[in-house]
Each structure stands twice: as C-alpha cells, then as structure tokens.
C-alpha cells in the first residue's frame, strides 16, 4: 500500500479538499499534495495530524476494515507489577520529549543512547532478580 494514495482516498471519502486538511491540520496544502502524489513520505507526526484532520483513528490509514485488527502474541513488558506499562501524564510528556530529541539526533548518537538504555535495563533486571 502506498500511504499517499490511501490518504487521498480517505480524504475524498470524507468529501474534504486539500485546503480543508490544511486548515484543520496546519500542514501546507503543497505538502499534502506532495504526500498524496508519492513525492514525499510523511513522518508519523504528520500522519497523526492528517488522521485528526479527517477525524479518523490512526489505524485506518493502514487498515481499511471497520474494526482494528486483533494484536497477537505481543511480548509482556515488566514495567508494573502486573506486567503492564505504567501510564501517566508525566511519563507521556517525558516520552514525547525523548521522541522529539531522538528525531533530531544523528545516527551515531541514537545508537549510543540505545546502547546505554539496554545496559541500564539489563542492570535493572539483574538487580530485580537478585532481590
């Protein structure tokens, strides 16, 4: 599937013009045209803006069924006692800031950060097993 074609199809189904999407999303109309015509690949943040502008859930950009597909065999992460991820507003802000930083970092810096995060996570797991 080519994402630009899918975006155009969804926009036309909603009877929206590129100008409507521009007003709702803040993205430039010429950029929307470039995405729809396959001249540029949008970032995830851009896809989120376009989905919000069309008032559709993000999964519909990649899946044309009525109900989101079922997720299977997802690994459990031991963040909370019950194996679920902790969700809070402060965690969300931190993750968002980290995501933005990683988007600006060069490949060498990203690799270093991921290596450090892996080391810290493995040390934390080792300490938890020792307790």
DSSP readout, 60-112?
Answer: GGT--SSSPPPP-SPPP--SSTTSPPP--HHHHHHHHHHHHHHHHS-HHHHHH
- Distance between CA 55 and CA 44 in Å, rounded? 16
- Distance between CA 80 and CA 78 in Å, rounded? 6
- Distance between CA 101 and CA 32 in Å, rounded? 25
Q: Is residue 76 part of a domain?
A: no
On whether both 7 and 56 belong to a single domain, the answer is: yes
pLDDT at residue 28, as a whole number: 95
Residue 81 has pLDDT above 70, yes or no: no
On whether both 55 and 93 belong to a single domain, the answer is: no
For residue 36, what are the domain limits? 3-61
pLDDT at residue 122, as a whole number: 81
Q: Is residue 71 part of a domain?
A: no
Residue 78 has pLDDT above 50, yes or no: no
pLDDT at residue 83, as a whole number: 44
CA 62 vs. chain centroid, Å, equals 12
Residue 88 has pLDDT above 60, yes or no: no
* 83-87, 90-94, 97-101, 108-112: which is most confident: 108-112
**Whole-model pTM above 0.85?**
no
**Mean pLDDT on 60-86:** 60
Q: Is residue 22 part of a domain?
A: yes
More confident residue, 81 or 122: 122
Number of domains in the chain: 2
Torsional sign, CA 92, 98, 103, 107: negative
Q: Is residue 123 part of a domain?
A: yes
């Amino acid at each position: 599937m080519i994402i630009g074609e899918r975006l155009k199809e969804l926009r036309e189904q909603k009877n929206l013009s590129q100008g409507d999407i521009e007003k709702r999303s803040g993205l430039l109309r010429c950029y929307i045209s470039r995405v729809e015509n396959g001249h540029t690949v949008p970032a995830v943040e851009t896809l989120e803006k376009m989905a919000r502008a069309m008032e559709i859930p993000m999964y519909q950009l990649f899946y044309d069924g009525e109900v989101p597909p079922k997720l299977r065999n997802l690994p459990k992460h031991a963040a909370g006692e019950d194996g679920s991820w902790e969700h809070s507003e402060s965690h969300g802000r931190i993750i968002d800031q980290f995501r933005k930083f990683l988007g600006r970092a060069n490949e060498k810096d990203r690799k270093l950060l991921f290596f450090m995060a892996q080391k810290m996570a493995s040390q934390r797991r080792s300490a938890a097993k020792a307790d």
